[in-house]
């Protein structure tokens, strides 16, 4: 699946992400919540040319490897494609005739209800949690 391009033996640290850019291996600290974004740091010079048909990455051994780039997404199964071709085209929808706006009727007048007094707020009870 993947083929090794350069044997570098880069020692990987847990909190860093490693990537390949312009034939060089770089590392950057992983983003943590509440922490500022880290600056990329050059780890090693691979000394190889990059082909755009492949994706390059640092493998488990710390070496640079490449895999064929998937272009155009994943291939579909032949069954799904054949059944889609068999389907007949969707029928055209007919437009519904325009309706006239109905005349608005006035609602009958209602008697005003008596308002209940709002309960008094308690200031003594405190909420737990944030302060």
Give the mean pLDDT per block of 10 residues along the chain (131 residues). 85 88 89 87 86 89 89 75 62 70 71 70 64 60
Q: Look up residue 35 and give its two tokens.
A: 């922490």
Q: What is the pLDDT of residue 28?
A: 92
How far is C-alpha 14 from the chain's CA centre?
24
- Listed by start position, the domains of the chain span 2-68
């Amino acid at each position: 699946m993947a083929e090794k391009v350069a044997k570098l033996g880069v020692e990987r640290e847990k909190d860093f992400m490693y990537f390949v850019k312009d034939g060089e291996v770089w590392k950057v600290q992983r983003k943590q919540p509440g922490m500022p974004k880290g600056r990329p740091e050059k780890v090693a010079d691979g000394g190889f040319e990059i082909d755009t048909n492949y994706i390059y990455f640092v493998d488990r051994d710390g070496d640079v490897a490449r895999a064929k780039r998937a272009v155009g997404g994943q291939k579909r199964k032949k069954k799904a494609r054949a059944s889609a071709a068999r389907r007949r085209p969707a029928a055209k929808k007919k437009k519904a005739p325009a309706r006239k706006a109905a005349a608005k009727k006035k609602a009958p007048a209602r008697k005003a209800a008596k308002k209940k007094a709002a309960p008094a707020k308690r200031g003594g009870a405190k909420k737990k949690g944030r302060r």
